[in-house]
Amino acid sequence: MGRYFGTDGFRGEVNEVLCVDHAFKIGRYLGWYYSQKRGEGKSAKIVIGKDTRRSSYMFEDALCAGITASGANAYLLHVTTTPSVSYIVRTEDFDCGIMISASHNPYYDNGIKLINAKGHKMDADVEAEIEDYMDGKIAEIPLAKRDKVGRTVDYVAGRNRYIGYLISLIRHSFEDKRIGLDCSNGSAFTIAKAVFDAVGAKTYVINDSPDGTNINRDAGSTHIEILQDFVRENNLDAGFAYDGDADRCIAVDEEGTVVDGDLILYICGKYMKEKDRLNDDVVVTTIMSNIGLYKAFDKAGIKYEKTAVGDKYVYEEMVKNDYSLGGEQSGHIIFSKHATTGDGIMTSLMVMEVMLGMKKKLSELHKEVEIFPQLLKNVRVADKQAALSAPEVVAAIEEVAEALGDDGRILVRESGTEPVIRVMVEAKTDELCKKYVDQVADLMK
């Protein structure tokens, strides 16, 4: 973790943690850095996307000012999704990409995500250099003069190419399928309906009227109950909810049941295995995936790997071993044949492909998975390491793990950003979850 950049960019409350001068300096350094790499007086090309937050326009202007002042050119996709920026960067002649978004956070937060030329999250060493420049540890870089000043270019055509790419992935017609889309008043509103309409679905869209302050507010993947009611009330075949920048997706089946990232991994993993598209028959998960998913994978003959929490770590494991499917319970799902990052709209299309390919309802595709009740409690402590290593705490964790056996698990980990220990238990019943979480948490307090 850097001084400013975390696992998912530089994020925080606008003009409190993340300020407009930060954006200008990030643009300045990136414009200079990549122009130097191009050499021979060539200008770097940097593509920028943003979500619907009011502050995203301010940060877009500041980034463009910094980039062009350093002699590079800024290409604007305007309101678009994070995965679309990743796609454009890796398929066209761009040095890097920037997405302005705080994902599922409230509107008063924002973030700057950096994407390298391969469409991956930016290398940590480049982010470290940017942080040094922001902190004045690097000498001031030169300003471009005269005809060397960069340009800002309208590049909405890039977003349209991404829409065309999503449509090209579809093998079945969605005709006669009634699909609900919750766009979270975020980036998906410019893309999701266009894609589903193009492949023949009858779409019913909610939360597609952003006003700059309503992104994620009682909407999208973090408020899935809204889509559950909508699917039931309109007798839809399925529903898909996205977060603010549409890099995650949570589904709802025709009965109104939530189909989270774990269930999506099972549905797509099993189908890909049957079609011989699941490399080494392995799905990459994080340590937060439900034990019920692993039991279902065992029955289906699917192997799995576990990483730390974060789609960044999931993708690193996928690249290292050439795995084809991975993701998180929260709905970040990565199909490595098609993308280098979680893509909510792509995920919803892939789920539809399984429904149509198997000729089954969505509820039938996940019925074999018994999701265990799960309870997570955050325990605020004075010293995280001391709390975790205390002999009585270690003994209590071991005691709970032994009591749960193969019918549950306990996971205790420290927060990377707060003085908090997270205690999570999965068990056969909610009562057992509460009993064992409290047993460890109370002792830790």
Between CA 212 and CA 14 the distance in angstroms is: 13
User: Of all residues in the chain, what percent are helix, strand and coil, respectively (each to 5)?
Assistant: 45, 20, 35
Between CA 231 and CA 415 the distance in angstroms is: 36
147 is in an annotated binding site: no
Contact between residue 34 and residue 46 where contact means Cβ atoms under 8 Å apart: yes
Cβ partners under 8 Å of residue 150, min gap 6: 31, 43, 67, 68, 69, 70, 71, 72, 73, 74, 144
Between CA 151 and CA 49 the distance in angstroms is: 16
Q: Where are the beta strands (DSSP E) in 381-437?
A: 409-414, 420-426
Beta bridge partners of 96: 46, 116
Q: Are strands 420-426 and 374-380 parallel, antiparallel or unpaired?
A: antiparallel
Instruction: Spot the catalytic one: 35, 70, 86, 103.
Output: 103
Using the structure block, give the residue that is written with the tokens 């030329």. Answer: 117
- Under DSSP, the state recorded for 76 is E
Question: H helices within 250-307, ranges in order?
Answer: 261-274, 291-300
243 is in an annotated binding site: yes
Report the half-sphere exposure of 407 (CA within 13 A, side-chain side): 8
Q: Kindly report the number of other CB atoms within 10 A of residue 58's CB atom.
A: 17
Between CA 293 and CA 303 the distance in angstroms is: 11
Contact between residue 424 and residue 288 where contact means Cβ atoms under 8 Å apart: yes
Q: Catalytic: 103? A: yes
Contact between residue 152 and residue 74 where contact means Cβ atoms under 8 Å apart: yes
Amino acid at 443: L
Q: Which residues of 63-82 are buried (b: 16+ CB within 10 A; e: fewer)?
A: bbbbbbbbbbbbbbbbbbbb
103 is in an annotated binding site: yes
- For the annotated binding site, the residues are 103, 243, 245, 247
Q: Which residues are catalytic?
A: 103
Which residues line the annotated binding site for Mg(2+)? 103, 243, 245, 247
